[in-house]
Amino acid sequence: MIKRILYLPVRLIAIILGFVIVVNIPILLTYNQSYNKIEIKFSLFKEYVISNLRWFTHVVEYPYIVDYFKGTGMEKYAYTMTILSISIFIVVLLALLIATFLMLLPLNVRNRFSSVIDFTTTAPDLLVVFLLQYLVIFLYQHFDLRIFQLYGGAYSRPYIVPILIIVFLPTIFLIQLLLKEFANEEQQDYVVLARAKGLPIRTIYFKHILRNIAPFVLIHLKTIVWFMLSNIFVVEHIFNIEGYSAALQAMYGTRVVVFAVGLLLFAVPLFIINGLSSLVIRQQKRRETTSI
């Protein structure tokens, strides 16, 4: 335990060093436009890395970082994170519902559905963006439904359409994963026992299998949230939404420390999910060891 605590500063330095090196890769490897060739500038790179590292040692100035995130910055962050958290919630809910519903269907229908899902997951995200965008406009043109605001502006903050687009593909991934988990769980002994005892299939799925699968959802969520983070970044750009991605890009030109904090803030959902899933894994392992 003490060893681990003593080791923490080393880890911190390593993480910061890694960050600084990665940020400065464009300095090390540059493309010279006039000569049309790639150049390696090691001395300049070293200089940049050292000066950047020095910024991290100015602990006195850390409180001023808050200034960068005050006001609009924090607003944008809250907006993006709202979209993200609502999306995660919807993804989990929808995927669980649809996957359970699909499992209740007869086997041949289910197989057809799952092959459709398999095909949909290969679709490039942009195609999905276009088609959903088209759907919204189609709804507006033909049924005069103007409930969704499509593009962002200076002060407008659309919610429904970005969420719709961000949710679509991850939900299908999660359904796919859940179907696999269901198929695995279906062959367990307790399911066979329950069936032999004459329990209706619906009860087995909703009461027993779903409950056993729930922890796996959290483990898969890690990947899904990671995927959604990059998705939200692109969607905000396409729809010209003034979200956190714009703020992050503005931060790139400022100080390294600010940029680092900005990136860390962006990754907060990832940390939360990671922590939760590691908890679940630990519990799962403990249960396994006790069962032996």
Partner 1 sequence: MKIFKYKKTMIGLSILCILLIVSLLYPLYGPKDFNKVVFLYDEKGDLVGVPPISLNSDFPLGSDRNGQDILLMILYGAKFTLLTAFSVAILRVLVGGVLGIVFSLWLKRIQPIFKDVLLVFKIVPPIIMTIFLMRRVSFYIVDANVYNILLYQVIILSIIGIPSVLFMTAGIIDELKGKSFIQSSYLMGGGHFHVLKKQFLPYLKSYGVLMLVQQLLHTLTLVMYLGVYQIYIGGISKDEVRGADVLNSNAKEWAGLVGQNIYEFFRAPHIVLVPLICYFIIIIIINMMKKELESSMSLNPLAITLNNKKRSKNKQTANDLKKVPITSSDFTLQKDFSS
- Interface positions with partner 1 (CB under 8 A): 10-11, 14-15, 17-19, 21-23, 25-26, 29-31, 33, 36-38, 118, 121-127, 130, 133-134, 137, 169, 173, 176-177, 180, 183-184, 187-188, 219-220, 222-223, 226-227, 229-230, 233-234, 237-238, 245, 248-249, 252, 263-264, 266-267, 270, 274, 281, 288, 291-292
Q: Which is nearer to partner 1, 34 or 60 (CB)?
A: 34
Q: Which is nearer to partner 1, 51 or 249 (CB)?
A: 249
CB distance 183 to 209 below 8 Å: no
Q: Which is nearer to partner 1, 74 or 265 (CB)?
A: 265
How far is the C-alpha of 95 from the C-alpha of 178, rounded, in Å?
8
Smallest gap from Cβ 178 to partner 1, in A, equals 11
How far is the C-alpha of 141 from the C-alpha of 161, rounded, in Å?
16
Q: Which is nearer to partner 1, 63 or 288 (CB)?
A: 288
How far is the C-alpha of 36 from the C-alpha of 29, rounded, in Å?
13
- Alpha helices per DSSP H over the chain: 2-23, 25-28, 42-57, 65-69, 72-104, 107-121, 125-143, 160-186, 189-196, 201-203, 210-238, 244-251, 256-266, 268-291
Q: Which is nearer to partner 1, 126 or 214 (CB)?
A: 126
Smallest gap from Cβ 197 to partner 1, in A, equals 20
Q: Which is nearer to partner 1, 163 or 177 (CB)?
A: 177
Token pair 């779903």 is found at 210
The pairs formed by 87-90 with CB atoms below 8 angstroms and a separation of 24 or more are: 87/163, 87/166, 87/167, 87/170, 87/228, 87/232, 88/221, 88/224, 88/225, 88/228, 88/269, 90/163, 90/167, 90/171
Smallest gap from Cβ 86 to partner 1, in A, equals 19
Smallest gap from Cβ 164 to partner 1, in A, equals 16
Smallest gap from Cβ 90 to partner 1, in A, equals 19
Smallest gap from Cβ 137 to partner 1, in A, equals 7
